[in-house]
Amino acid sequence: MITSNSDNELLGNLEKASFDLIVLDQKLPDVLGIDLLRQLREMDKWKDVPVIFITSHANPDVHSNIEELKVADIQFKPFSPSVLIRKIKECL
């Protein structure tokens, strides 16, 4: 597991890492999660890695944009930790 304080730090960390799953929140300090997800999907290394996306947006347009980026699941805030754990297990 890695955590990062900025999108640039995260992208730099991801270049050196390998993961089977990404859990990504829409609300990040300096970038929207969906924008970061777009960047990840453009990279060969990350284009097929399952992503569980966490958001508080109830807007159907936002959901449509997220789903177009091939997420494995969308969890809406507030979410149940047990449901998130189940979804993680399903993805692995």
CATH number where 70 lies? 3.40.50.2300
Identify whether 9 is part of a domain: no
Phi-psi region at 12: left, alpha or beta (left = phi > 0; alpha = psi -120 to 50) = alpha
Distance CA(34)–CA(90), nearest Å, equals 22
Q: Report if residue 10 sits inside a domain.
A: no
Domain enclosing residue 87, as ranges:
17-91
Domain count, the chain: 1
Q: What is the pLDDT of residues 41-86, one digit of tens each?
A: 998 989 999 999 999 877 666 767 787 888 999 998 899 999 999 9
The confidence score (pLDDT) of residue 82 equals 95
Distance CA 76, CA 53 (A): 9
Q: Is 80 part of any domain?
A: yes
Q: Is residue 1 part of a domain?
A: no
**Does residue 86 lie in a domain region?**
yes
Specify the pTM: 0.85
pLDDT at 90: 95
* pLDDT per residue as tens digits for the range 63-72: 677 878 889 9
